[in-house]
């Protein structure tokens, strides 16, 4: 089962450039969370602060009882095993074949024998659809395969938390859909906590349980998917609906004059789509009946919400799934 990450009052600057200040949030254990924000708002820097690759100016990052910025080198090294990190380009060693890349953390961090390592690596390669590609070098495989190899490598130590920095960048929509399905399936299988940085609004709208937005040197909002996707907060509404109208400009935030010139009320949020289910149809513990959060908070969902492309309303589908007790929640 995954562990939670609790961030309190985090601030990071480089010289005079404040990246973000006073960021506080709890990334819930065993749930899938996604962090978005315009380019340069410090999403990658945030991930690096969580694993102790960068040190904040102030604040806390509590993971499994320790406060990451305050850990001594030896404890930090041990704590990092809690995390599997999937870097943007897979960060594979170019001179090692796919098998050896995936085996690397096991050889580096464990005393397991080669037979055991082979068993684990082949199992993870199968899981990410890379069976038979073990002999290939990173330069000989596609971008999507590199990401899947990176994910397999992130999985071999069975981490409690997976951090993924733009796993979908450079992937075509079909490969992105496969990768998202893989995240959901891994979460359903192992209860791994996920934090995914993405620019892909399609991914953000269907994959995570929780969403967050970084903007104006801070965390604008973080919370359940339904809360964010129904929000009328100008920046949140603009970003998660991929619109030009709103405070986020092309290069930086718009000034007052630009905003006044728009002179139109923000369009209402788009319908909230149904959430991606695990491929075996089970209901993940962190999933809720579609519309549950909205109902509990007296928010009317945007019209057309929770209806899939086949016209099925997932509020009824959900009830049917639960009623059939095919995959009851634990």
* Residue whose CB is less far from ligand ATP, 14 or 77: 14
The binder of ligand ATP chosen from 18, 45, 227, 266 (CB under 6 A): 45
Q: Which of 3, 19, 125, 163 binds ligand ATP (CB under 6 A)?
A: 19
Q: Output 40 or 267, the one with its CB closest to ligand ATP.
A: 40
Interface with ligand ATP, residue 310, by CB under 6 A? no
Q: How far is CA 88 from the centre of its chain?
A: 13
Applying CB under 6 A, which of residues 10, 43, 85, 282 lies at the interface with ligand ATP? 43
User: Phi, psi at residue 96, to the nearest 5°?
Assistant: -105, 140
Whether residue 171 contacts residue 92, with contact meaning beta carbons closer than 8 Å, is answered with no
> Kindly report the CA angle at 39 between 37 and 42, in degrees rounded to 5?
70
Residue pair 283/327 in contact by the 8 Å Cβ criterion: yes
Least distance (Å) between residue 91 CB and ligand ATP: 15
Distance CA 198, CA 186 (A): 18
Out of 39, 115, 251, 256, the only residue in the binding site for ligand ATP (CB under 6 A) is 39
**If binding is defined by CB under 6 A, does position 68 make contact with ligand ATP?**
no
Whether 265 and 236 have beta carbons less than 8 Å apart is answered as no
The distance of closest approach from Cβ of residue 43 to ligand ATP in the complex, given in angstroms and rounded to an integer, is 4
- In this structure, the strands spanning 193-197 and 161-165 are parallel
Q: Name the nearest CA neighbour of 86 among 178, 2, 149.
A: 149
Selected from 44, 110, 133, 181, the binder of ligand ATP by CB under 6 A is: 44
Verify binding: residue 218, ligand ATP, rule CB under 6 A.
Answer: no
Interface with ligand ATP (CB under 6 A), residue total: 10
CB contact at 8 A, 227 and 297:
yes
Stretch that binds ligand ATP, among 37-45, 149-157, 172-180, 268-276 (CB under 6 A): 37-45
The percent helix, strand, coil of the chain (3-state, each to 5) is 35, 20, 45
Q: Which tokens hold the place of 47?
A: 């991930």
Token digits of residue 167? 């796993």
Q: Tell whether residue 40 is a contact of ligand ATP (CB under 6 A).
A: yes
The answer to whether the CB of 240 falls within 8 A of the CB of 201 is yes
Distance CA 160, CA 190 (A): 8
173 part of the interface to ligand ATP, by CB under 6 A: no
Q: Is residue 14 at the binding interface for ligand ATP, with CB under 6 A as the rule?
A: yes
Q: Of 34-42, 134-142, 148-156, 303-311, which segment contacts ligand ATP by CB under 6 A?
A: 34-42
Please name the residues in contact with 255: beta carbons below 8 A apart, sequence gap of 6 or more.
Answer: none
Task: For the CB of residue 199, give the shortest distance to ligand ATP in the complex, in Å.
Answer: 6
Among residues 88 and 133, whose Cβ is nearest to ligand ATP? 88
Integer Cα distance of 314 and 305 in angstroms: 9
Residue nearest to ligand ATP (CB): 39
**Binds ligand ATP (CB under 6 A): choice among 3, 25, 27, 41:** 41
The distance in angstroms from the start CA to the end CA of the chain is: 13
Indicate whether 295 belongs to the interface with ligand ATP (CB under 6 A).
Answer: no
Q: Which of residues 122-151 bind ligand ATP (CB under 6 A)?
A: none
37 interacts with ligand ATP by CB under 6 A: yes
Q: Which residues bind ligand ATP (CB under 6 A)?
A: 14, 19, 37, 39-45
């Amino acid at each position: 089962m995954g562990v939670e990450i609790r961030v309190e009052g985090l601030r990071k600057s480089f010289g005079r450039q404040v990246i973000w200040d006073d960021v506080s949030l709890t990334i819930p254990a065993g749930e899938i969370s996604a962090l978005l924000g315009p380019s340069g708002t410090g999403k990658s820097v945030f991930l690096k602060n969580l694993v102790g690759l960068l040190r904040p100016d102030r604040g806390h990052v509590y993971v499994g009882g320790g406060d990451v910025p305050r850990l001594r080198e030896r404890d930090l090294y041990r704590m990092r095993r809690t995390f599997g990190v999937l870097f943007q380009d897979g960060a594979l060693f170019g001179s090692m074949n796919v098998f050896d890349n995936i085996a690397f953390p096991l050889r580096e961090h464990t005393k397991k024998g080669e037979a055991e390592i082979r068993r684990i690596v082949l199992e993870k390669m199968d899981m990410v659809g890379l069976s038979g590609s073990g002999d290939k070098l990173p330069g000989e495989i596609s971008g999507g395969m590199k990401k899947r190899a990176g994910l397999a490598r992130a999985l071999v130590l069975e981490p409690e938390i997976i951090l993924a920095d733009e796993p979908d960048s450079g992937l075509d929509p079909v490969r992105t859909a496969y990768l998202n399905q893989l995240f959901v399936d891994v979460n359903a299988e192992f209860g791994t906590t996920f934090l995914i940085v993405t620019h892909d609004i399609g991914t953000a709208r269907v994959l995570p349980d929780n969403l967050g937005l970084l903007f104006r040197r801070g965390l604008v909002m973080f919370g359940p998917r339904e809360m964010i996707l129904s929000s009328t907060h100008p920046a949140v509404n603009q970003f998660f609906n991929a619109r030009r109208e709103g405070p986020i400009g092309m290069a930086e935030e718009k000034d007052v004059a630009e905003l006044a010139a728009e002179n139109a009320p923000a369009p209402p949020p788009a319908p909230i789509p149904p959430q991606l289910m695990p491929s075996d149809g089970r209901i993940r513990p962190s999933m809720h009946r579609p519309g549950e959060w909205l109902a509990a908070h007296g928010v009317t969902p945007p019209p057309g919400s929770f209806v899939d492309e086949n016209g099925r309303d997932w509020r009824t589908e959900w009830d049917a799934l639960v009623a059939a007790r095919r995959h009851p929640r634990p």
